[in-house]
């Protein structure tokens, strides 16, 4: 049995795959101890053979600055790399921008007088005494973790290795992150930040995973979801916790892409709306991979899926700002106190607005296991209505329009701003709140097809339960494409293959069962940033592949930036080698044909459309639907893990996989 667990801001989701059967569950998250909800659910079932866990421990430690006391040891003259950063301005017209303090304070950014050149030459040897002199400073500040990042250590890491050896010998309890074992990128700022992030969250992650491993049944093998859409063992997650900063969202994209491909729409936009945030990604026939991501404004250069996140979720708080404008998010009610309708909170949220509009049924939430307080929701939204001098329904619709506009901007960021037309993609809606907003979001963007998975509210957990095991590494190559040779690349691939195989065996995996992906980071000479271009799918490179990749790069550059410069020389800066095993197959569906006409459970007056008047709306139980069922809006589909809105003018058809495909329907 495999169990996927997704710890979210409001709910923790569970999917169990056993003997071709799929079971789901949801529990309120336990922010004080994220493992509590997980362990409570595991205790109610037979011990899973494999548990794949998507965790927010690393992400929250970064966002809330609750990581370990961390020091940085770097080359003399480079102590302020973290503080200087890059010169870009995230908000171009914000006159009051403030930069967050570095994860390492000034007093703990320490230096050693050593120097290595970009071509591996040592021009100032490392003196052990200079390292030993740092020990009293580290101990005086009760340092838990140490990041070591020296200039040009990506090509010559001898000094870094020696510093790590001296530190570990002096105090084995220190968590030490060494840049050449984490990232081999030449850019000093990105490499330093990533190494510091890894050190900062390593003690937190180790404590969490150690506790979890001791509390789980001994027969259960624990795996952690990584940002690149694969999973890894506890050892890998402890050594490289920076790989888990997008752990939860990655599982959702993997699950959404597999569902969309299964119903024939591999070109899709994934839309994951949870309790605190919304994650979107564009899959143009494949999972969108990236060489890095940003968390809390910090660049983390570890392989990840290309995900864009906005602070818009079911728990997003609504308020009237001093200028009289309605704002929704990014602040969230979270799991505690939660939306007002949950019975504790008092401020209006998106969930409360959905309750007021009748879109979220008070008697069908979590399959009826958690009744919602309609009067409390109305009281919270009425505060907004009074402040805005509007009616209750008008205020609730306003909250919907503001949150939908914020999510539409996020989708345009990953589509229109990158040269893609959203109309050419299907929208895959999931998360606890995604199906509530999907059709209205599609209307906003002109998207004509929406896919609602069979279990949308726990799709991230399903993606985790079925995820492949992945591992990747990279090597710097700074040179012209025209000068690269087959033998030089194959020598690098021999090194990376051995490294990856060793890491996989340490996690209890058989490398012979894994496939290979080799990618080159390429750019035109004179450019600063690269595009990742696939080279081969075997751990050997051929001259033919090396020649073909140049045209692939021109084509990719044309699509991404609108032009190609075929007369200009191409540079290659990095080789990335990724290994992955076969993902677990999703359970097959055996659905009985309908023998009687489909009838709604009941009719209610609700506001499923963006109009200030109620409509008679049909209510259907999603669990009672079968293949080829057709439902015309306005209608509401209820199930344990989510609620789906079918507005007027939309038609929903149940696919052979029991996923729902919604399209605009012209009744004429």
CA–CA distance, 290 with 24 (Å, rounded to integer): 31
Q: For position 538, what pLDDT does the model report? A: 85
Region 293-318 average pLDDT: 88
431: three-class secondary structure by DSSP: coil
Comparing 87-91, 402-406, 500-504, 638-642, the range with the smallest average pLDDT is: 87-91
Range 470-580 has CATH code 3.30.1490: yes
Give CA separation, 131 vs 177, 472, 495, 633, in Å: 16, 31, 30, 70
Region 587-593 average pLDDT: 72
Region 370-391 average pLDDT: 94
pTM beyond 0.95, yes or no:
no
What region, left, alpha or beta, does residue 430 occupy, with left being phi > 0 and alpha being psi -120 to 50 degrees?
A: beta
pLDDT tens per residue across span 199-251: 999 999 999 999 998 999 998 999 999 999 999 999 989 999 999 999 888 99
pLDDT band at 590 (very low <50, low <70, confident <90, very high): low
Region 469-492 average pLDDT: 90
Region 53-66 average pLDDT: 87
Region 9-24 average pLDDT: 85
Q: Strand ranges (DSSP E) for 274-385?
A: 278-284, 289-290, 293-295, 298-300, 304-305, 308-310, 316-320, 326-332
Mean pLDDT of the chain: 91
Judged against a pLDDT cut of 50, whether residue 668 lies above it is answered with no
470: three-class secondary structure by DSSP: strand
pLDDT tens per residue across span 87-112: 777 777 877 777 788 999 999 999 99
Residue 668 C-alpha from the chain's centroid: 42
Judged against a pLDDT cut of 50, whether residue 621 lies above it is answered with yes
DSSP state letters, 388-416: HT--HHHHHHHHHHHHHHHHHHHHHHHTG
pLDDT tens per residue across span 426-456: 999 999 899 999 999 999 999 999 999 999 9
CA–CA distance, 308 with 278 (Å, rounded to integer): 8
Q: Is the dihedral of CA 275, 280, 285, 289 positive or negative?
A: negative
Backbone angles phi, psi at 236, to 5 degrees: -65, -40
Backbone angles phi, psi at 250, to 5 degrees: -60, -40
CA–CA distance, 102 with 82 (Å, rounded to integer): 6
CA–CA distance, 99 with 290 (Å, rounded to integer): 25
- As a whole-number percent, the residues of the chain with pLDDT over 90 amount to 66
316: three-class secondary structure by DSSP: strand
Ordered by start, the domain boundaries in the chain are 70-206, 470-580, 602-664
333: three-class secondary structure by DSSP: coil
pLDDT tens per residue across span 164-174: 999 999 999 99
Which letter does DSSP use for residue 310 in this model?
A: E
Q: For position 666, what pLDDT does the model report? A: 66
Say which residue, 646 or 86, is predicted with more confidence: 646
pLDDT band at 372 (very low <50, low <70, confident <90, very high): very high
Q: For position 45, what pLDDT does the model report? A: 85
Closest C-alpha to 427, from 418, 410, 419, 9 = 410
């Amino acid at each position: 049995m495999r169990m996927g667990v997704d710890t979210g801001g409001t709910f923790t989701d569970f999917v169990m795959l056993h003997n071709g059967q799929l079971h789901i569950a949801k529990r309120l998250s336990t922010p004080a101890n994220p493992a509590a909800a997980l362990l409570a659910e595991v205790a109610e079932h037979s011990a899973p053979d494999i548990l794949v866990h998507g965790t927010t421990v690393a992400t929250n430690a970064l966002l809330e600055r609750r990581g370990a006391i961390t020091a940085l040891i770097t080359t003399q003259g480079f102590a302020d790399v973290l503080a200087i950063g890059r010169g870009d301005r995230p908000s171009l017209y914000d006159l009051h921008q403030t930069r967050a303090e570095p994860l390492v304070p000034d007093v703990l950014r320490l230096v050693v007088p050593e120097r290595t050149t970009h071509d591996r030459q040592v021009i100032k040897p490392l003196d052990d005494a200079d390292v030993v002199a740092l020990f009293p400073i580290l101990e005086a500040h009760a340092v838990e973790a140490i990041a070591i990042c020296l200039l040009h250590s990506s090509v010559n890491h001898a000094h870094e290795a020696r510093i790590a050896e001296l530190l570990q010998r002096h105090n084995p309890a220190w968590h030490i992150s060494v840049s050449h074992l984490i990232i081999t990128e030449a850019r000093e700022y990105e490499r330093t930040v990533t190494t510091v992030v890894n050190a900062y969250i390593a003690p937190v992650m180790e404590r969490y995973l150690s506790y979890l491993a001791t509390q789980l049944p001994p027969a259960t093998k624990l795996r952690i979801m990584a940002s690149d859409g694969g999973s890894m063992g506890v050892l890998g997650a402890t050594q490289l916790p920076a790989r888990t900063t997008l752990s939860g969202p990655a599982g959702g994209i993997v699950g959404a892409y597999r569902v969309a491909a299964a119903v024939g729409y591999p070109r899709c936009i994934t839309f994951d709306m949870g309790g605190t945030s919304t994650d979107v990604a564009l899959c143009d026939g494949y999972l969108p991979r990236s060489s890095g991501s940003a968390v809390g404004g910090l660049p983390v250069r570890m392989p990840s899926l290309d995900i864009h996140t906005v602070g818009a979720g079911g728990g997003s708080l609504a308020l009237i700002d001093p200028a009289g404008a309605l704002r929704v998010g990014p602040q969230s009610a979270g799991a505690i106190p939660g939306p007002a309708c949950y019975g504790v909170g008092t401020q209006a949220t998106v969930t409360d607005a959905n309750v007021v509009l009748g879109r979220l049924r008070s008697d069908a939430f979590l399959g009826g296991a958690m009744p919602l307080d309609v009067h409390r929701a109305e009281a919270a939204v009425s505060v907004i209505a009074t402040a805005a001098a509007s009616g209750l329904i008008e205020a609730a619709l306003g909250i919907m329009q503001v949150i939908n506009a914020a999510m539409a901007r996020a989708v345009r960021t990953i589509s229109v701003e990158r040269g893609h037309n959203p109309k050419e993609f299907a929208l895959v809606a999931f998360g606890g709140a995604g199906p509530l907003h999907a059709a209205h979001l599609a209307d906003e963007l002109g998207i004509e097809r929406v896919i609602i998975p069979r279990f949308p509210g726990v799709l991230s957990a399903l993606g985790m339960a079925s995820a492949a095991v992945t591992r990747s590494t990279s090597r710097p190559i700074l040179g012209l494409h025209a000068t690269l040779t087959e033998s030089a690349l194959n020598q690098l691939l021999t090194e990376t293959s051995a490294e990856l195989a060793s890491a996989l065996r340490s996690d209890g995996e058989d490398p012979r069962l894994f496939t290979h992906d080799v990618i080159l980071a390429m750019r035109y000479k004179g450019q600063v940033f690269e595009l990742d271009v696939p080279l081969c799918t075997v751990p050997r490179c051929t001259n033919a592949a090396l020649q073909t990749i140049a045209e692939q790069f021109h084509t990719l550059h044309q699509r991404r930036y609108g032009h190609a410069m075929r007369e200009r020389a191409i540079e290659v800066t990095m080789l990335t080698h990724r290994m992955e095993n076969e993902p677990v197959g999703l359970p097959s569906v055996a659905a009985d044909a309908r023998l009687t006409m489909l009838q709604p459970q009941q009719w209610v007056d609700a506001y499923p459309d963006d109009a200030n008047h109620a409509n008679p709306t049909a209510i259907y139980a999603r669990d009672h639907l079968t293949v080829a069922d057709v439902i015309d809006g306005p209608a509401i589909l209820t199930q344990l893990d989510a609620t789906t809105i079918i507005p007027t003018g939309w038609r929903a058809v149940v696919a052979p996989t029991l996923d729902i495909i919604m399209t605009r329907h012209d009744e004429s």
